[in-house]
């Protein structure tokens, strides 16, 4: 069967490995994502703080702004319409999915500037892609891929595009201010993982992979043949070995000034974000949410009990 006639329905995902080794003599199952592998490669101690100790992190405007744009793009590309959806679909989705968590404490005028900038980015995206619009095969496509040695890689592909020859292309949206070079894209661990996931999901390799830098409006595309999936799998296994061996040494780098865990890091003098204070804020927010959920659960239980009886619960 040619790729042009494939139904492109994702194959059933294998269940994630249970906690603890299936074979007592083998390694413990480990679930990784691109972001986890990337963080360990940048600073193993930061990985430990974030994913082993599960310390809280402070939401920032760039992260919230990026997630808001991603949500709007997903809503537009996921319409599955024969004609390009109106630009208002993008703008309405931005309003509905706006993530305000990273703007707490910011002056209203500054927050409005972020919001209007997001609107401008989305309008330009619509201008770029509506003339040659083709509905997405999938957006935010979840995957779970076993890569051997009790390691499962998980993630979500932003945009799976239909190519002219009937195959698929993989697109990851980026909200960086500047586009990366083609060499950077060809060497992207993230795109290599996505190419691997495409074969797992649909049984075919993508024709190409791309990073779409939505702020400058540049898409950098490379052919699948230029992506080294085997090297990516080797890198994932190396990271898995380091995590299992608890090799969590601090690695000072250019990103340290923005690290949420700088105050906890032995490479610094304790100056940095207040982790305990951040934890307290998140704890209070979750408690309030739990209280609201508990009240709603009680209300719904009452409705069900009155109409269907206690046995229905």
| pLDDT, tens digit, 9 for 90 and up, residues 179-230 | 999 999 999 999 999 999 999 999 999 999 999 999 999 999 999 999 999 9
Domain identity same for 196 and 294: no
Domain for residue 75, yes or no?
yes
Confidence band of 19 (pLDDT split at 50, 70, 90): very low
- Please tell me the predicted confidence (pLDDT) of residue 266: 87
Domain for residue 105, yes or no?
yes
Give 18 or 150, the one with higher predicted confidence.
Answer: 150
Domain identity same for 232 and 304: no
Of 226, 214, 236, 235, the closest CA to residue 153 belongs to: 236
Mean pLDDT of 64-73: 97
Domain identity same for 38 and 178: yes
What is the spatial distance between Cα 260 and Cα 308, in angstroms, rounded to a whole number?
50
Domain identity same for 182 and 302: no
What is the spatial distance between Cα 121 and Cα 131, in angstroms, rounded to a whole number?
17
What is the spatial distance between Cα 9 and Cα 6, in angstroms, rounded to a whole number?
8
Exposure on the CB side of residue 214, measured as CA atoms within 13 A:
28
Domain identity same for 226 and 116: yes
Q: Are 62 and 106 in contact (CB under 8 A)?
A: no
Residue 168 φ then ψ, to 5°: -130, 155
CB neighbours (10 Å) of residue 199?
A: 15
- pLDDT tens digits, residue range 260-308? 888 888 888 666 667 777 777 677 778 888 988 898 998 988 888 888 8
- pLDDT tens digits, residue range 120-164? 999 999 999 999 999 999 999 999 999 999 999 999 999 999 998
Domain identity same for 230 and 103: yes
Domain identity same for 148 and 287: no
Domain identity same for 293 and 208: no
The answer to whether the predicted template modeling score (pTM) of the entire model surpasses 0.85 is no
Residue 159 φ then ψ, to 5°: -150, 120
Tokens of 96: 């509905």
Domain count, the chain: 2
- Please tell me the predicted confidence (pLDDT) of residue 241: 96
Domain for residue 220, yes or no?
yes
What is the spatial distance between Cα 210 and Cα 200, in angstroms, rounded to a whole number?
19
Check whether 13 has a pLDDT greater than 60.
no
- Please tell me the predicted confidence (pLDDT) of residue 58: 82
Of 188, 223, 238, which residue is a domain's last? 238
CB neighbours (10 Å) of residue 244?
A: 14
Angle at CA 39, nearest 5°, toward 37 and 40?
A: 65
Domain identity same for 220 and 293: no
**Three-class SS state of 42:** helix
Categorise residue 85: left if φ over 0, alpha if ψ from -120 to 50, beta otherwise: beta
Contacts of 102 by beta carbon, 8 Å cutoff, 6+ apart: 59, 60, 61, 62, 63, 64, 65
The residue with tokens 């100790």 is: 53
Q: What pairing do the DSSP bridges indicate for beta strands 208-213 and 168-174?
A: parallel
Mean pLDDT of 72-90: 94
Domain for residue 269, yes or no?
no
- Please tell me the predicted confidence (pLDDT) of residue 4: 39
User: For residue 31, what is the domain's CATH number?
Assistant: 3.90.320
Domain for residue 4, yes or no?
no
Mean pLDDT computed over every residue of the chain: 88
Domain for residue 258, yes or no?
no
**Among the ranges 69-73, 102-106, 287-291, which has the highest mean pLDDT value?**
69-73
Q: Are 126 and 76 in contact (CB under 8 A)?
A: yes
Confidence band of 2 (pLDDT split at 50, 70, 90): very low
Domain identity same for 211 and 307: no
For the chain, how big is the Rg over CA atoms in Å? 22
Domain for residue 267, yes or no?
no
- Please tell me the predicted confidence (pLDDT) of residue 9: 58
Q: Are 219 and 212 in contact (CB under 8 A)?
A: yes
Range of the domain at 221: 16-238
Please return the burial class of 207, using the count of CB atoms within 10 Å of its CB with bins 0-12, 13-18 and 19+. Answer: buried
- Please tell me the predicted confidence (pLDDT) of residue 23: 55
- Please tell me the predicted confidence (pLDDT) of residue 56: 86
Domain identity same for 179 and 293: no
Domain for residue 10, yes or no?
no
The residue with tokens 């898409």 is: 219
Orientation angle between helical segments 61-77 and 108-129, nearest 10 degrees: 30
Confidence band of 18 (pLDDT split at 50, 70, 90): very low
Give 193 or 309, the one with higher predicted confidence.
Answer: 193
- Please tell me the predicted confidence (pLDDT) of residue 196: 94
């Amino acid at each position: 069967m040619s790729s042009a006639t494939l139904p492109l329905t994702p194959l059933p995902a294998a269940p994630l490995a249970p906690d603890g080794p299936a074979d007592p003599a083998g390694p413990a199952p480990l679930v990784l994502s691109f972001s986890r592998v990337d963080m360990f490669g940048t600073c193993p101690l930061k990985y430990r703080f974030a994913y082993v100790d599960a310390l809280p992190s402070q939401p920032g405007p760039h992260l919230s702004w990026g997630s808001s744009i991603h949500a709007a793009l997903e809503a537009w590309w996921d319409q599955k319409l024969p004609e390009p959806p109106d630009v208002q679909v993008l703008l309405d989705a931005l309003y509905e999915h706006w993530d305000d968590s990273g703007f707490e404490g910011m002056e209203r005028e500054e927050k409005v500037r972020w919001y209007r900038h997001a609107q401008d980015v989305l309008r330009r995206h619509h201008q770029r892609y509506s003339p040659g619009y083709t509905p997405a095969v999938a957006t935010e496509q979840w995957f779970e891929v076993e890569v051997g040695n009790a390691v499962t890689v998980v993630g979500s592909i932003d945009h799976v595009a239909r190519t002219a020859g009937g195959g698929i292309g993989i697109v990851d949206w980026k909200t960086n201010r500047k586009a990366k070079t083609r060499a950077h894209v060809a060497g992207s661990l993230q795109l290599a993982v996505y190419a691997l996931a495409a074969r797992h999901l649909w049984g075919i390799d993508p024709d190409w992979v791309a990073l779409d830098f939505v702020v400058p409006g540049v898409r950098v595309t490379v052919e699948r043949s230029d992506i080294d999936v085997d090297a990516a799998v080797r890198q994932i296994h190396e990271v898995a070995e380091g995590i299992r061996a608890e090799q969590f040494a601090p690695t000072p780098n250019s990103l340290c000034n923005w690290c949420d865990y700088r105050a906890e890091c032995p490479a610094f003098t304790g100056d940095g974000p207040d982790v305990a204070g951040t934890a307290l804020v998140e704890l209070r927010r979750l408690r309030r949410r739990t209280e609201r959920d508990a009240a709603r659960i009680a209300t719904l239980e009452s409705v069900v009990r009155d109409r269907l009886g206690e046995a229905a619960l």
